[in-house]
Amino acid sequence: MSARTTYLLLFLPALAMLALALYPFVQGVLTAFSDRKLYYDTSSFIGFQNFIALFADDEFHDSILRTLAFTAGVVFVQIPLGLGIALLLLRQSWIQPILRSTLVLPLLIPPVVAGLMWKTMMQPQSGIVNWLLSNVGIPPQTWLSHVDTALLSVILIDTWVFTPFAALILLAGLQSIPPELDEAARVDGAGALLVFRAIQLPWIVPFIVLVALFRVTDSLKSFELFYATTRGGPLNATRTMHIMAYEEAFRWSSVGKAMAVVFVLWLMSYFISMFLMTKWQRRSGVHHEYG
């Protein structure tokens, strides 16, 4: 096979894939600049009007803050928790294989199912969570049904579902530490805390950045858990940008405005991901130098 044929065989599928990815994206961006409503056949190009209206809307500002608060909550809870679990799993013990296989179970449950399951369990009057708490003298909590606790409750559910992901990646990072580093440190009399601070933690920084990269991008566009638990409520307490876009498109048929929200979300996701990617690549370089 000639080199030309090889390139052609690669080029054509690549072009098809690019077109399949780009066409909906470009179509979506164009829609963001239109007044398209699902129930009208026609739509007009209206420039930046959707964006101007959005940025003049306090509710949009609030939805950006909620999205960022959710993302920050998810990352700052799940990474330390995942790291703690990974360190426990690193220890050789008879229970370790059982723990490992149990750990991944939440990841195997679709987020919508997990959301519905937790919604039932967190039901303030009849849910099992409040019943369990009442047995140890803790008063019932409102969980998903009050503006003050709803976002925190979704973060907790997300943590239940996705902390195993963080733990698995970080465990892989910890296991990739060359044993001689650990042994040398211990021979020199270093305790577990010092080994963690001086060897394990610096070594797994790229893995932490990797987990952060995945969890940040996933959390910014998180939808299923919100859809299954609160749909943005109560009031607007969990109305993130993705939920706002969903309401605009599927409750009110304002596809133009919905795509404008999604476009802003995409920009945020893109720039934050790029920032984390740069960090990750820089930190990964350290490992390559060692290797």
Partner 1 sequence: MKLDHLQILKSGSWISAFAGAALLGASTAAVSQEFDWKQQEGSSVNVLLVSHQFVEALKPLVPEFEEMTGISVSLDVLAEQAAFEKLLADLSSQVGSVDVFMTSPLNNWQYATANWLEPLDEFIGDPALTHPDYDVGDFFQGVLNSNRWTRVPMQGIGEGPLWALPINSESYLMAYRPSVFKELGLEVPKTYDELLAIADKLDTGSAEFGLITRFDKYWDLPYLTFGTMLQSYGVEMIDADGNLQICSDASVQATDDFVTLIKTASPEGAGAFTWYEALQGFASGQYALSLNEADLFAPVYQDAEQSEVSDDVGYAPTPLGPDGTRKAGAWIWSMSMNAASKNKEAAWLFLSWVTSKDTMIATHLAGNMNPVRASAWENHEVAAMVNRWGETPGQYSDVTATMAEVAAVRFPPHPELTRMLDRWAQAVQEVYFNGSDTRTALCEAQDDVEKMFN
- Per 3-state DSSP, what percentage of the chain is helix, strand, and coil (rounded to 5)? 75, 0, 25
The reply on whether position 39 binds partner 1 by CB under 8 A is yes
Q: Which of 45, 76, 131, 250 binds partner 1 (CB under 8 A)?
A: 250
d(CA 57, CA 64): 11
Site for partner 1 in 66-125 (CB under 8 A): 123-125
Q: Cα 144 to chain center, whole Å?
A: 19
The reply on whether position 28 binds partner 1 by CB under 8 A is no
Q: Which of 18, 38, 52, 201 binds partner 1 (CB under 8 A)?
A: 38
Q: Which of 23, 48, 131, 252 binds partner 1 (CB under 8 A)?
A: 252
Query: Which region among 185-193, 197-205, 234-242, 279-287 touches partner 1 (by CB under 8 A)?
Result: 234-242
Closest to partner 1 by CB, 250 or 271: 250
The reply on whether position 131 binds partner 1 by CB under 8 A is no
Residue 37 DSSP SS3: strand
* Shortest distance (Å) from residue 276 CB to partner 1: 33
The reply on whether position 142 binds partner 1 by CB under 8 A is yes
Closest CA to 84 of 182, 204, 222, 219: 204
The reply on whether position 42 binds partner 1 by CB under 8 A is no
Mark 85-115 as b/e (b = at least 16 C-beta within 10 Å). Answer: bbbebeeeeeeeeeeeeebeebeeeebeebb
* Shortest distance (Å) from residue 69 CB to partner 1: 18
d(CA 208, CA 159): 16
Site for partner 1 in 143-162 (CB under 8 A): 143-147
The reply on whether position 126 binds partner 1 by CB under 8 A is yes
State the SS3 of 94-144: CCHHHHHHHHCHHHHCCHHHHHHHHHHHCCCCCCHHHHHHHHCCCCCCCHH
Closest to partner 1 by CB, 24 or 178: 24
Give residues in contact with partner 1 (CB under 8 A). 38-41, 123-126, 140, 142-147, 230-237, 250-253
